[in-house]
């Protein structure tokens, strides 16, 4: 018998969580001239754009926004059965001397953010890299911690955290669902 999905965050929770994380980013990085935000394709890039708008409003500044595709930086590329869908990366500002906040939807093993740092460093060398994630579900395979976390949830290996955003999924929520074998 299939377990029902559990709503971890609804639409209002997602909005409130992003607002809180924007405040945390500003508190930790009060100098807007040295800050940039970079999202990981796909949902991380969407969340980064939302976070940027909130940070801009709080700082009264226009913080640079970029996005990276990590397809060719993954350490499991050769073992994946399907070819990756590749998106262009856009980091059209100098990274040197900046604090870069990398944004993603879910932190799980740590491999995605490791690949994102490799992709980022292909564009330059930031002064400092921070990591912002909507959901931290644990189960690390690499020693990675997020600087800013929306929500930490306990999960089992047989569960998936599914982030749905209106831009890609025509819904706005975070679900915990059981893997289908």
Contact by Cβ (8 Å): 55, 26: yes
The pLDDT assigned to 143 comes to 95
The pLDDT assigned to 82 comes to 63
- Cα–Cα nearest to 157, from 105, 104, 106, 108: 108
The pLDDT assigned to 73 comes to 73
The pLDDT assigned to 1 comes to 43
Please state, in angstroms and rounded to a whole number, the distance separating the CA atoms of residues 39 and 34.
17
Output the CA–CA distances (angstroms, integers) from residue 165 to 41, 105, 169, in the order listed: 13, 10, 5
Contact by Cβ (8 Å): 68, 41: yes
The model carries a pTM of 0.91
Block means of pLDDT (10 residues each) for the chain, 181 residues, are 80 98 95 93 96 97 96 60 66 96 97 94 96 96 96 94 96 94 69
Contact by Cβ (8 Å): 120, 110: no
């Amino acid at each position: 018998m299939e377990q029902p999905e559990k709503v971890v965050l609804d639409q209002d929770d997602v909005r409130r969580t992003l607002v809180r994380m924007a405040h945390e980013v500003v508190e930790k990085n009060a100098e807007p001239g040295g800050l940039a935000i970079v999202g990981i394709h796909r949902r991380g890039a969407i969340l980064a754009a939302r976070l940027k708008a909130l940070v801009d409003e709080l700082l009264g500044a226009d913080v640079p926004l970029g996005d990276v595709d990590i397809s060719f930086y993954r350490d499991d590329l050769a073992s994946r059965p399907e070819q990756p869908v590749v998106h262009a990366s856009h980091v059209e500002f100098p990274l040197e001397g900046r604090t870069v906040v990398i944004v993603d939807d879910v932190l799980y093993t740590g491999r995605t953010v490791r690949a994102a740092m490799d992709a980022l460093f292909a564009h330059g060398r930031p002064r400092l890299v921070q990591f912002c994630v909507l959901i931290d579900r644990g189960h690390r395979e690499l020693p990675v911690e997020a600087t800013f976390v929306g929500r930490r949830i306990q999960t089992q290996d047989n569960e998936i955290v599914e982030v749905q955003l209106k831009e890609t999924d025509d819904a706005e929520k975070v679900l915990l669902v059981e893997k289908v074998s």
